[in-house]
Amino acid sequence: MTAADLRALLQSGAGTNLVLEGGQVLVVPPGQAAEHEGALTVASWEDVRRRLGDDAQDERALQEQAEILTTEITELGA
């Protein structure tokens, strides 16, 4: 998980999810969710916006959130 992944998610808009599938982090828009059934949803656009608040464009905040999400993924054993 990288700050670039979170940036791509935030640029995609509401309803989009960041998923882990086949060892890759993917940005999945709502219309493509069925194609990724079974993938681990890491975070939604709404969740990341809530976590970042006004810092959504701050590179350091994006990096910190990427590290937190990476830790969460690791703890889940994914």
- Give the model's pLDDT for residue 57: 82
pLDDT tens by residue, 18-67? 999 998 999 999 999 999 999 999 999 999 999 998 877 899 999 999 99
Cα–Cα distances in angstroms (integers) from residue 22 to residues 16, 56, 78, in the given order: 19, 28, 10
Burial of 62 (0-12, 13-18, 19+ CB in 10 A): buried
Q: How confident is the model at residue 78 (pLDDT cuts 50, 70, 90)?
A: low
In this structure, are residues 34 and 10 in contact, taking their beta carbons and an 8 Å threshold?
no
Q: What is the pTM of this model?
A: 0.88
